[in-house]
Amino acid sequence: MISIRDIDHVVLRVRDIDAMRRFYCDVLGATHVAYRPEYGMSHLKVGASMIDLISVDGKLGKAGGAAPGREGRNLDHLCLRVEPFDQDAIVAHLERHGVEVGDIRRRYGAEGNGVSIYVADPEGNTVELKGPSDGQPPPA
């Protein structure tokens, strides 16, 4: 039996690795750990997990085919648990960085129900910024 503890990392295939690194680090607070040019890959630390960015024209990225775009994505969305979660401060921060704030509402996640904010990264991937659980039971 395999027992999964949490997500180790998510890998995004990207067209503009520098713009994506700036978004995840400067806007969302990830920490750039390393750039590995031989793979066209940047490692970003987010809490206990990682987001790896790989260039679609790099060694690893080429294997995935066409770049993400309007007609095709690499994933539906990724969810980042934010702590502390001050909705007004987060929205103000995003707006200062020119990030369009999407739907804000209560959603179910790994810790339970809680408010989250949807935004899009520079290449159109949906990123959910999730707050703490409100303690309510899961959806029926």
Amino acid, res. 28: L
Is the confidence at residue 2, as pLDDT, over 60? no
Residue 69 counted as domain residue: yes
Give the CATH number for residue 19. 3.10.180.10
Please report which confidence band the pLDDT of residue 61 belongs to, taking 50, 70 and 90 as the band edges: confident
Residue 76 counted as domain residue: yes
d(CA 59, CA 97): 32
Instruction: Render pLDDT for 63-87 as a digit per residue (tens, 0 to 9).
Output: 777 777 767 677 778 899 998 999 9
Query: In the structure encoding, which two tokens stand for residue 74, read together?
Result: 């690499």
Please report which confidence band the pLDDT of residue 137 belongs to, taking 50, 70 and 90 as the band edges: confident
Q: Name the domain count of the chain.
A: 1
Residue 22 counted as domain residue: yes
Residue 118 counted as domain residue: yes
Instruction: Render pLDDT for 111-131 as a digit per residue (tens, 0 to 9).
Output: 888 999 999 999 888 899 999
pLDDT mean over 40-47:
92
User: What range defines the domain where residue 109 resides?
Assistant: 9-130
Residue 135 counted as domain residue: no
Residue 136 counted as domain residue: no
Measured in whole angstroms, how far is the alpha carbon of residue 90 from the centre of its chain? 15
SS (H, E, C) 89-115: HHHHHHHHCCCCCCCEEEEEECCEEEE
Residue 29 counted as domain residue: yes
Residue 15 counted as domain residue: yes
